Structure 1
Amino acid sequence: MTSRADVVEDAADRLRLLLDANRTLVEELDLPEVLRRIVTAAIDLVGARYGAIGVFDDDGRLEVFIHAGIDDETAAQIGHLPRGRGLLGDLLDGGPAVRLDDVTTHPHYTGFPAEHPPMRSFLGLGLEVRGRVYGNLYLTDSAHGTFSEEDAELARALGETAGVAIANARLYDESRRREAWSSASAEVTRELLSPDGIDALELVAVRVQELTRASLVAVLLPAGDGTYAVSRAAGTHSQELVGVRTTIAAAAPVEPTIGTVAAVCAPLGLDLPDVPASQAMLVPLVDADDPRGILVVLRDGPPRFDDTDLSMAEAFAGQAALALGKRDLRQAREAMLVLEDRDRIARDLHDHVIQRLFASGLTLQSVHATIPVGAPRDRLAAQVAEMDETIRQIRRTIFELHDTDPGQGGVRRRLRRVVSATGDGGTAVTLQIDGPVDLALDDGLADDVVAVAREGVSNARRHAQAERIELRCVVRGGEVVVTVNDDGRGIPEHARRSGLDNLARRAEARCGTCRVTSGRGGTTLRWAAPIPDEGYDA
């Protein structure tokens, strides 16, 4: 009678434990905490010494593994987590619980690692919800020697609740991740559209790294040579990666991809530094079928990127690309307004100021012809010359107002940088520019002009010991002429002329000329090349 009462009481206690476990599981939404509660409840429920739970991804690979009964030191000595093969892999197919008196006798048993504690009795089952197996529950070394059928029934009942709890925790985690992606997308959009915001592309890289827990995130933008280059990066070795070019053409279609680092990055031709990463995600930044860039995300270790990660990253990238497009349109409109205003000012200077000065100059010249030779006549001639110089300066200002590349710097700005970079060491360098150099010269001819100016001024300062250098660039009559005059000692007879030979080859390649005259009074370099017809319509 007492034995039967003990059995009934034991059954009631176990049922109470099951109900308590079910209640605590449905109250929690944090996945790691849910898994810990499942393992602890299962050990208490069936009287096991060891317990573990594994959650698998869509490809059947172990994503999360929580164990109980093995201390941290022993776990560290064991090393890598189980890979879900052999007996543990059988449980992924669902079905009834597997109950063994000695796990080592099972035909699919593959053995334990060297530091793993010995285990004999085994109870395992899949955690299944609506036909999908989310993970496995493993229990070993029963306090009664072996696990009973009743233990299996209790574990199965707990497993059903555990499966629902895991599914709910995953849905909650996914909703939180989507909310975080949405918040980051709104932040990036706001900064991209802000006229004085922070570096929004840097923010894209930082936020994606935070959201994906990535080792490295790189933002690739189209480069001037038709490929992609890393514009911004966040994470390990990020500074080393900025500026690195790819081999894929910017116009080539790029599909959203997840996989290994080699599989994802190799088609890009992206040479990555030694970044600890085992998986990668690639997401194009596309605005209305217009490619604007690529997001490359590298991560080391679990969890693996899945389709949910990819879809959320795609939505984020699409919003960022749309904001980039709107920002570019806004900047283009602002640039157009600036150019229109400059054009109006240039037109007013030409139609009103210069014409009045020119008319005044003609009047002064006619008066000059009637004045006898002497000091008054000379002073009037000087004023006429000063007025001519003023007209020339206004014309140069008009051409500068038509500089169409104020952001990157047209030929005028590049020539000024040449002067500022070389105008030291006691040498005075002056610059004179006549004609529409920024409108008339294409990129290749502009590069040649700047190279000639740099070489000529540099030679005069370093080798000629000149005190004064005059640099002049003139666009007139369908050609561009660069002249460098100095008052130095001239070119020595046996001096190396490799730099001047390079300038001569540049001129020959453009059917132009390069002449150097040198003497005791100084040296003059004159480099000229015709302007292609498509360069500027005078």
Structure 2
Amino acid sequence: MPDDDTPPSPAPALPPRLEAVLGIGTDLELRTTLQHIVDGAAELTGARYAGLAMADPGHEGLVEIRKADLGRAEREGVTVIDVPIRVDDEEFGRLYLAEKLDGGQFTDSDRQLLGLLAAQAGIAIGNARLYETARQRERWIEGAAAVTTALLTGGAADDPLLTVADRARLLADAAAGVILQPTDEGGMEIVTAVTRGDEPDDIVGTTIAPGSPVLVQLLGGEPVFVDDSATDPRMTTPVRHRFGPSMLLPLQAEGRLIGTLALPRRRGDRPYTGTERLLATQFASQAALALVLAEARRRRARLAVYEDRDRIARDLHDLVVQRLFATGMMLESTQRRAAGDDRVRELIGHAVDELQATVQEVRTTIFALQQPPADAPTSLRGKVLREAAGVSAALGRRPSTRFTGPVEHRVPPAVAARLLTALRRALADAVRRPGVTRVEITVDATAVLPDGRDAVRLTVYADDGSGDGTTGPGPGTPVIWQAPLEDGTL
């Protein structure tokens, strides 16, 4: 009897041929599985050369798998035997063998073993395909979920379309992720693009002209799949020659076409498989719904902000302005009573002027609060306030802004444009000037030129503590720009 400490005898090794067959299905990654098939075929038959050529070159990213230089054997006239590998009643490829290591010829037994290996290979390839499909589906589902989460939780970039395009490009292994949107002329324009690091990024603004064959499908919300963008007659964009296989997927939700998601690959890259097309189409549908929901969420947030600003504006008008008016009236009454004391009258007069200026600023603030926060202003008053707000961070405080007269009704558009240009220049000078602590902007639509013509005058006063209050030429004076109202020329 053997001692208990004696190690057990090793299990007998499997015959190499059996190991070759059984080893085929040990890996679920497709390329590795195909390499096992080629290596197993060579081991099983004692062949020096082995190879596997795909029936559909480029499909699934594979063209040929080799054990050694099979082409060299073919060039030297060595006998080559081959057998088809079938997956789901479809020929996947052919397995080639050439030149026995022992110098002999391939026998019928070798051919039978090769046929057995091909049958086992078909099963292994089918399993590997199922595994890869499951992995792809998992990646696309996770990607769609990540996009939805980013858009609906506010974690996305400033441009939601950019978020969708970037994630889709990564999932599809595409050269670019592109978003197109319909134009007023009936075409489509690239509004967002994310490209791979080695790809040009100058495609934003490219348009598909109205009447292009592909537009009928895109505007109708149908996906379009292209094998080669450079040669497909439906593709008419100037950048089509850069790309090969492409998917153009509608971003459509709740009956609304937001745009089209395009995922082009480089020329010569493998075409998209049916599984990839299906998963990308599903991703686009979910991304479109997330975009619609995110837009609704942003609209609600803007509405809440607008309602809050409107409430503040009403409170300022109803409480602060009314109290300031009442205080001003009290001071004016006191000023009349203090007829015999010039000093008191002067002080009260100064206080009244300050109150009137404060009322003017509060009214300006009320106007600014009543503007939609996300919309660009269309009125001269709103544009002046926007320019003032733009330098607030650089100055450390918001410039004081006053308007005199009906600026909206008296200042024509051409004159307003020149006024804004002068204002930007004056504010830029104020920002560059060291030590500026206070900036005052006045737009007076009741000014009169020396020749008697009605005019609008812009005054920008910047205080840096030196006492001259200037931001431009002319020491001791604020920056003044003025123009007549009728034609905008001096």
TM-score scaled by length of structure 1: 0.65
Which ranges in structure 1 are unaligned for 5 or more consecutive residues?
1-14, 76-111, 424-428, 463-468, 488-519, 531-538
1:162 is the counterpart of 2:121: yes
Correspondence for 1:6: none
Residue deviations 1:141-197, cap 9 Å, x none?
356664444333322222111111111111111111111111222222222222355
Aligned partner of residue 180 in structure 1, secondary structure: helix
8 Å contact kept, 1:419–1:430: no
**Deviation for aligned residue 1:335:** 1.0
Partner of residue 482, structure 2:
525
Determine which of 350, 362, 365 is the counterpart of 1:382. 350
- Superposition pairs for residues 63-74 of structure 1, below 5 Å? 63-70=62-69
* 421 and 194 in structure 1: CA distance in 2 versus 1, 3 angstrom threshold: closer
The residue number in structure 2 matching 1:192 is 151
Q: How far does the alpha carbon of each residue in 1:426-445 deviate from its partner, in whole angstroms, 9 at most, with x for none?
A: xxx985346999xx79xxx9
Aligned counterparts of 1:205 and 1:262: Cα–Cα separation in 2: 21
The answer (yes or no) to whether the contact 2:443–2:456 under 8 Å persists in 1 is: yes
Q: Distance in 1 between matches of 2:273 and 2:142?
A: 21
Aligned pairs for 1:172-321 within 5 A: 172-196=131-155, 204-220=164-180, 228-237=189-198, 240-241=201-202, 243-247=204-208, 252-253=219-220, 255-262=223-230, 267=235, 269=237, 271=239, 277-300=243-266, 301-321=268-288
Q: Which residue of 1 aligns with 2:472?
A: none
Conserved? CA contact 1:456–1:525, under 8 Å: no
Question: 1:433/1:172 Cα in 2 relative to 1: closer, same or farther (>3 Å)?
Answer: farther
Deviates more, 1:201-210 or 1:383-392: 201-210
* Counterpart-to-counterpart distance in 1, 2:141 and 2:427: 60
Tell me, yes or no, if the aligned pair for 1:452 and 1:527 is still in contact at 8 Å: no
Q: Is the 8 A contact 1:264 1:282 kept in 2?
A: no
Alpha-carbon spacing, 1:235–1:524, altered in 2? closer, same or farther (3 Å): closer
Instruction: Please tell me whether the aligned partners of residues 127 and 133 of structure 1 are also in contact (alpha carbons under 8 angstroms).
Output: yes
- The CA deviation at 1:205 is 4.4
Spell out, residue by residue over 1:444-487, the C-alpha distance to the aligned partner (whole angstroms, 9 max, x if none).
x989845542157649999xxxxxx98655799xxxx8533589
Give the alignment partner of residue 127 of structure 1, picking from 75, 81, 85: 85
Cα deviation, 1:479-498, whole Å, max 9, x if unaligned, reads xx8533589xxxxxxxxxxx
One-letter code aligned to 2:37: I
Partner amino acid, structure 2, of 1:330: R
Cα deviation, 1:301-336, whole Å, max 9, x if unaligned, reads: 453212211111122222222222222211111111
**Which residue of structure 2 aligns with residue 493 of structure 1?**
none
The SS at the match of 2:344 is helix
After superposition, the Cα gap between the structure-2 partners of 1:261 and 1:116, relative to the gap in structure 1 and judged at 3 Å, is farther
Q: Is the 8 A contact 1:419 1:431 kept in 2?
A: no
Secondary structure, in 3 states, of the residue corresponding to 1:29?
coil
Q: Is the counterpart of residue 138 in structure 1 residue 138 in structure 2?
A: no
Q: Deviations over 1:76-130 (max 9, x none)?
A: xxxxxxxxxxxxxxxxxxxxxxxxxxxxxxxxxxxx79x9742332222221134
Alpha-carbon offset, residue 395 of structure 1: 0.6
Question: C-alpha separation between the residues in 2 aligned to 1:337 and 1:419?
Answer: 26
CA distance in structure 2 between the partners assigned to 1:28 and 1:134 by the alignment: 18
Contact kept, 8 Å, 1:18 with 1:158, in 2: the verdict is no
CA distance in 1, matches of 2:120, 2:441: 84
CA contact (8 A) 1:233 1:242 kept: no
**CA RMSD after TM alignment:** 4.6
Going from structure 1 to structure 2, the CA distance change for 1:268 and 1:434 (only over 3 Å counts) comes to farther
Amino acid corresponding to residue 218 of structure 1 in structure 2: V
Rounded Cα–Cα distance in structure 2 between residues aligned with 1:213 and 1:460? 48
Contact map agreement 2:52 2:66 (CA 8 A) in 1? yes
Q: Does structure 2 retain, via aligned residues, the 8 Å contact 1:222–1:228?
A: yes
Amino acid in structure 2 at the alignment position of 1:384 = V
Structure 2: segments with no counterpart, 5+ residues? 1-13, 430-438, 447-454, 462-476
Q: 8 Å contact 1:283–1:317 — kept in the other structure?
A: yes
Distance 1:26 1:240, change over 3 A: closer
Asked whether the 8 Å contact 1:400–1:412 carries over to 2, the reply is no
Task: Give per-residue Cα distances to partners, 1:217-240, cap 9 Å, x unaligned.
Answer: 334567899953443514135673
CA distance in 1, matches of 2:413, 2:297: 28
Q: Distance in 1 between matches of 2:144 and 2:200?
A: 24
| Cross-structure match for 2:30 | 31
Q: How many percent of aligned residue pairs carry the same amino acid?
A: 28
Deviation (angstroms), 1:523: 6.9
Structure 2 vs 1, CA of residues 526 and 336 (structure 1 numbering), >3 Å: closer, same or farther?
same
Shift of 1:53: 0.8
- Indicate the SS of the match to 1:389: helix
Select the residue among 279, 292, 295 that pairs with 1:328.
Answer: 295
Matched, 1:396 2:372: no
Stretch of structure 1 that moved more, 159-168 or 125-134? 125-134
Q: What secondary structure is seen at the aligned counterpart in 2 of 1:315? A: helix
Distance of aligned partners of 1:237 and 1:24 in 2 relative to their CA distance in 1, 3 Å threshold: closer
Shift of residue 292 of structure 1? Answer: 3.0
> In 2, distance between residues paired with 1:431 and 1:237?
49
CA distance change for structure 1 residues 362 and 165 in 2, over 3 Å: closer, same or farther?
A: same
TM-score, structure 2 as length reference? 0.70
Following TM superposition, by how much is the alpha carbon of 1:345 offset from its aligned partner in structure 2, in angstroms? 1.1
